[in-house]
Amino acid sequence: MTFSPETQAALIADGEKLAALTGEDHGPWDLADFVLSEEHRDELESLAAGYEASAYAESLLHDALKPHVEAFHADSRDDFTMRQLRISNEARSVATRCRISAEAIRAVLRLVTAPSP
């Protein structure tokens, strides 16, 4: 990834300020210098696959609860329907977060394992 000279200068200045505050190197670092070991790549692949599986499972749960969501929209407000609606909404939310996490991990993997131009 290439940054404009202004952005690069700002990143360097931020890294220097953080280093002065913490005594640690805070970059910026060039991704071309980053090496991802095979072991860590496998761990990230496994993590992404786990998030994808969780997203799938949560989507199945959300789909299974559709009759309760439809009952809610048909003005059924009994406690059971309300609990199922909350579970359904949480399942949809978790599935979305898991999908986003898996996509982010896969994007990082593509970035750090892409062949140099």
* pLDDT tens-place values along the chain, 117 residues long: 567 888 888 888 898 998 899 998 887 777 666 777 888 889 999 999 999 999 999 999 988 888 888 888 888 888 888 888 888 889 889 999 999 999 999 988 887 776 655
Q: What pLDDT digit, counting tens, does each position of 85-106 carry?
A: 888 889 889 999 999 999 999 9
Q: What pLDDT was estimated at residue 47?
A: 93
Q: What pLDDT was estimated at residue 27?
A: 79
Q: What pLDDT was estimated at residue 26?
A: 80
Distance CA 26, CA 17 (A): 9
Q: Tokens 């200068």 sit at which residue?
A: 9
Q: Residue 5's CB: how many other CB atoms inside 10 A? A: 7
Among 30, 52, 35, 61, which residue's Cα sits nearest to residue 98? 52
